[in-house]
């Protein structure tokens, strides 16, 4: 049986002609989105770099253009017309990601923030409902976008148990992230969905990935990824993707067409290729992170370890909602900002850099970097350092942290 669970498996399309219930996630990750390759006469994923496409005639080409410009798909007799509207390499990746998420479809964007912006515009731009409920902490870029009011929205921030009380008649969206950036807070998705009622819930699933968590199966409307991170996994592509139902995808594609935020086909190729090793990478990184978190908990320089389950799991998230604890962790250091600065400057294997989810280990200071735009009163503490654990030998990583911590 596939390790996603019955709820997700029942909505997933067939992979290479087999029932998805018969396939493990490792198999799905390798074969997903490749159903048409045999008919094309190829084995490796193709890349279509065309910016424009031949038109059969004015009428059919025009009808197809209108379909895509308003969020639909290309018409069979009208062609793809123009790459800002549709690209087959991007569409192939979208199908693959949706299959892993147990979603009807997915929409890919040029970055995670482009995806987040489109998601907000699609639900507020023409609806007259411009209020958003958000549970902090969130990724710093998302928090900054909501705080800026750039898109004409108003945001109420609350705890996860206060979502229902925070919803108004003009609420368009509920935004959550779990595990949350940077302190790995866990949010009960099903509980938030129940409070939200008819209001769409979007879950930033970047840290968990489809390997460990499927928000759609838990009732969320959208599962959002900064695909730059674990989906890509090698630090060489910027992208965002949202898994959702077809009606939501139509609204998202309409915004994408108007704003020109479609993912470049080369990026889509790299992401699709990366899916084949995603479960293997996640398991290796997660095991490294678990062992490092345990070791850090024994170090006198470390005041607190932020890692799912390290302080218990009172809501029963792990095992019920998540199929693992992931590969992100954070630590609070005795000595505050000075200690954080010293640690990030002394590591040798850990790269001092923003971003996360790659095969190599990274370390960074959220308050000074990724979460710098967040209001000071809710910004991560200056003592907090975030670590993204890679696939290196765990003993080497521990030794690096040991020498850096002194």
Q: Please give the full DSSP string across 355-393, using - where no structure is assigned.
A: ---SSS-EEE-TTTTTTTTS-GGGSPPTTEEEEE--SS-
pLDDT of residue 125: 77
Record the pTM. Answer: 0.94
User: Are 167 and 196 spatial neighbours (Cβ–Cβ below 8 Å)?
Assistant: yes
Into which CATH architecture does domain 279-405 fall? Alpha-Beta Complex (3.90)
Catalytic residue among 92, 95, 136, 229: 229
294-323 mean pLDDT? 96
Q: Where are the domains of the chain?
A: 279-405
Rounded Cα–Cα distance for residues 118 and 256 (Å): 7
Q: How is residue 264 annotated by DSSP?
A: P
314-324 mean pLDDT? 96
Catalytic residue among 65, 82, 139, 230: 139
Q: Catalytic: 229?
A: yes
Rounded Cα–Cα distance for residues 116 and 173 (Å): 12
pLDDT digits (tens, 9 = 90+) for 25-38: 999 999 999 999 99
pLDDT digits (tens, 9 = 90+) for 117-167: 999 999 997 667 799 999 999 999 999 999 999 999 999 999 999 999 999
pLDDT digits (tens, 9 = 90+) for 210-230: 999 999 999 999 999 999 999
For residue 133, list its beta bridge partners: 156, 174
In our burial notation (b when 16+ CB lie closer than 10 A, e otherwise), range 299-330 reads bebbbbbbbbbbeebeeebbeebbbbbbbbbb
Neighbours of 30 (CB within 10 A): 17
| Upstream peptide bond of 4 is cis (omega within 30 degrees of 0) | no
Q: Catalytic: 204?
A: yes
Rounded Cα–Cα distance for residues 118 and 99 (Å): 22
Catalytic residue among 130, 204, 251, 323: 204
Neighbours of 184 (CB within 10 A): 23
Lowest mean pLDDT among 171-180, 184-193, 344-353, 373-382: 373-382
pLDDT of residue 138: 95
pLDDT of residue 13: 45
Using alpha carbons, select from 379, 7, 375 the residue that is nearest to residue 193. Answer: 7
Catalytic residue among 84, 291, 303, 346: 84
Q: Beta strands 201-204 and 171-177: pairing type?
A: parallel
Asked if residue 73 has pLDDT above 80, the reply is: yes
Q: Catalytic: 84?
A: yes
């Amino acid at each position: 049986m596939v390790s996603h669970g019955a709820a997700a498996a029942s909505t997933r399309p067939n992979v290479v002609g087999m029932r998805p219930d018969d396939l493990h996630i490792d198999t799905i990750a390798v074969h997903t989105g490749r159903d048409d390759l045999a008919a094309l006469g190829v084995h490796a994923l193709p890349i279509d770099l065309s910016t424009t496409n031949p038109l059969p005639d004015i009428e059919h080409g025009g009808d197809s253009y209108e379909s895509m410009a308003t969020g639909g798909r290309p018409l069979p007799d009208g062609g793809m017309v123009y790459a800002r509207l549709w690209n087959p390499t991007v569409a192939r990746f979208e199908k693959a990601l949706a299959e892993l998420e147990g979603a009807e479809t997915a929409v890919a964007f040029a970055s995670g923030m482009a995806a987040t912006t489109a998601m907000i515009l699609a639900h507020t731009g023409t609806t007259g409902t411009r209020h958003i409920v958000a549970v902090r902490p969130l990724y710093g870029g998302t928090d900054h976008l909501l705080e800026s009011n750039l898109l004409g929205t108003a945001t109420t921030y609350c705890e996860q148990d206060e979502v229902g009380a925070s919803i108004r008649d003009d609420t368009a969206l509920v935004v959550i992230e779990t595990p949350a950036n940077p302190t790995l807070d866990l949010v009960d998705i099903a509980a938030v969905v129940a409070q939200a009622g008819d209001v769409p819930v979007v879950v930033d699933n970047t840290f968990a990935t489809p390997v460990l968590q499927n928000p759609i199966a838990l009732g969320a409307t959208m599962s959002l990824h900064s695909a730059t991170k674990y989906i890509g996994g090698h630090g060489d592509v910027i992208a965002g993707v949202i898994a959702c139902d077809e009606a939501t995808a139509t609204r998202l594609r309409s915004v994408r067409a108007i704003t020109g935020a479609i993912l470049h086909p080369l990026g889509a190729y790299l992401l699709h290729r990366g899916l084949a090793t995603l479960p293997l990478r996640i398991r290796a990184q997660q095991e490294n992170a678990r062992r490092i978190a345990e070791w850090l908990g024994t170090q006198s320089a470390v005041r607190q370890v932020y890692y799912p389950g390290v302080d218990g799991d009172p809501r029963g998230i792990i095992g019920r909602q998540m199929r693992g604890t992931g590969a992100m962790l954070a630590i609070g250091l005795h000595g505050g900002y000075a200690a954080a600065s010293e640690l990030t400057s002394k590591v040798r294997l850990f790269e001092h850099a923003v971003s996360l989810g790659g095969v190599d280990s990274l370390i960074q200071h959220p308050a000074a970097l990724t979460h710098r735009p967040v209001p000071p009163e809710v910004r991560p503490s200056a003592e907090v350092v975030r670590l993204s654990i890679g696939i290196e030998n765990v003993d080497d990583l521990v030794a690096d942290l040991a020498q850096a911590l002194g």
